[in-house]
């Protein structure tokens, strides 16, 4: 049974939900004939890091998760850190664990004595992804007597490479969005005015601290099934109408501002193009005039040189030596 698509589906749909990893991870571990497997994805050291394991107890799962926080206990993590500092660590790799750290080194580590020696496994096969600010890994550990993983298992895991990268990108985007939302909520809570964020049906999506105090006081506003209502039914209808109109006006204003910004950008681009054309014409005119003047100067120099050659004084006739006789030599060769 090809179980790689099952794990791919989990990676795509639930990068932060470790409970969804157990079934496909167990199936893939059975396909690879490995009794112990771990999958972790997210930002180490934060609540956004999720890990799931197959063949390990809850204590062993927490121990494996802590390896990302205490790299000195795990030689694999230390080797990855060393390669990252040296700039030789690829962003994604499928590796046999014994090719990263020799088995004799791994057996002497603290994590092997605490976890892997109990399961009598050492040889592993996994995917490791190391983008900025996050990490991801799926590792399957094989019994030592089975030896290294065959090439067909390596090819099977290579199918998961792009999906692991995408899962980490999704995780990073979700973590960044959650951090921005937390900062925005803290900023809104610090305001003294009551602020409600509602959808078109008056369902409250967020209420800052002042708004929650207003709802608790019952002074004209209340919540019913998370919908914002007024104290009297006729006022509730007017309130919901006002919310819908406000949302429409806000969206219309955002679209108008976006269109105005686009037109302003186009106008600025056209003005820059006009300035560039003027500067180019000025340079071309200057080049043309310089070349034209150079041509005129060359022609004038030629005319002047020819005129000087024609008007230069010539020596009078008979003042030079006769043809065929050297000066100072008498006829017959005597001096």
- d(Cα 79, Cα 101) in Å, to the nearest integer? 8
pLDDT at 329: 52
- d(Cα 130, Cα 292) in Å, to the nearest integer? 64
Q: Residue 281: pLDDT band by 50, 70, 90 thresholds?
A: very high
- pLDDT > 70? residue 30: yes
pLDDT at 1: 45
- pLDDT > 60? residue 238: yes
227 vs 198, 206, 222, 246, CA distance in Å? 8, 11, 8, 16
Tokens at residue 175, please?
């973590």
Q: pLDDT, tens digit, for every residue of 219-234?
A: 778 888 888 888 777 7
pLDDT at 252: 92
Q: pLDDT, tens digit, for every residue of 290-321?
A: 999 999 999 888 888 888 888 877 766 655 55
Return the DSSP state at 14. -
- d(Cα 307, Cα 117) in Å, to the nearest integer? 107
Least Cα distance to 122 among 55, 42, 62, 35 occurs for 35
pLDDT at 317: 64
- Give every CB contact of residue 23 below 8 A, 6+ residues apart in sequence: 6
- d(Cα 3, Cα 7) in Å, to the nearest integer? 7
Range list of β-strands (E), the chain: 36-42, 50-54, 92-96, 121-129, 135-143, 196-198, 204-207, 221-224, 227-230
Q: What is the mean pLDDT of the chain?
A: 81
Are 67 and 73 spatial neighbours (Cβ–Cβ below 8 Å)?
A: yes
Q: pLDDT, tens digit, for every residue of 57-95?
A: 888 888 888 776 666 777 887 888 788 777 788 888 888
Q: pLDDT, tens digit, for every residue of 121-141?
A: 888 888 888 766 567 788 899
Are 221 and 228 spatial neighbours (Cβ–Cβ below 8 Å)?
A: yes
Return the DSSP state at 331. G
Q: Provide CATH code, domain 4-174.
A: 3.30.450.80
Q: Which of 115-119, 202-206, 286-290 has the highest mean pLDDT?
A: 286-290
Are 202 and 222 spatial neighbours (Cβ–Cβ below 8 Å)?
A: no
Q: Residue 48: pLDDT band by 50, 70, 90 thresholds?
A: low
SS3 203: strand
Residue-by-residue DSSP string for 49-70: -EEEEES--HHHHHHHHHTTT-
Q: Which residue has the tokens 């993983």?
A: 149
Are 87 and 80 spatial neighbours (Cβ–Cβ below 8 Å)?
A: no
Percent of the chain with pLDDT over 90: 14
Are 35 and 141 spatial neighbours (Cβ–Cβ below 8 Å)?
A: yes
- Give every CB contact of residue 209 below 8 A, 6+ residues apart in sequence: 189
């Amino acid at each position: 049974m090809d179980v790689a698509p099952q794990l791919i589906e989990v990676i795509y749909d639930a990068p932060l939900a470790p409970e969804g990893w157990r079934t496909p991870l167990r199936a893939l571990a059975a396909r690879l004939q490995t009794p112990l497997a771990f999958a972790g994805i997210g930002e180490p050291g934060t609540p956004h890091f999720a890990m799931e394991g197959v063949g390990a107890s809850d204590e062993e799962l927490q121990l494996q998760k802590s390896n990302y926080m205490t790299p000195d206990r795990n030689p694999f993590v230390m080797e990855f850190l060393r390669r990252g500092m040296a700039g030789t660590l690829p962003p994604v790799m499928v590796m046999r664990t014994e090719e990263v750290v020799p088995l004799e080194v791994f057996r002497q580590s603290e994590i092997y004595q605490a976890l892997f020696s109990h399961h009598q496994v050492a040889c592993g096969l996994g995917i490791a992804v190391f983008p900025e600010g996050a990490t991801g890994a799926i590792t399957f550990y094989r019994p030592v007597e089975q030896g290294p993983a065959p090439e067909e298992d390596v090819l099977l895991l290579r199918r998961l490479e792009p999906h692991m990268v995408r899962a980490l990108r999704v995780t990073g985007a979700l973590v960044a969005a959650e951090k921005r939302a937390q900062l925005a909520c803290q900023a809104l809570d610090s305001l003294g005015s009551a602020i409600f964020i509602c959808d078109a049906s008056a369902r409250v999506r967020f209420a800052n601290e002042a708004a929650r105090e207003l709802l608790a006081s019952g002074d004209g506003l209340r919540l019913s099934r998370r919908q914002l209502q007024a104290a009297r039914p006729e006022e509730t209808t007017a309130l919901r109408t006002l919310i819908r109109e406000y949302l429409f006006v806000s969206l219309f204003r955002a679209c108008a501002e976006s269109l105005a910004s686009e037109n302003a950008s186009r106008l600025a681009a056209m003005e820059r193009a006009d300035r560039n054309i003027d500067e180019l014409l000025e340079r071309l005119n200057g080049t043309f005039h310089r070349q034209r003047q150079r041509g005129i100067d060359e022609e004038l120099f030629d005319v002047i040189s020819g005129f000087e050659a024609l008007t230069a004084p010539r020596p009078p006739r008979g003042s030079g030596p006769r043809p065929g006789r050297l000066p100072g030599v008498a006829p017959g060769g005597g001096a």
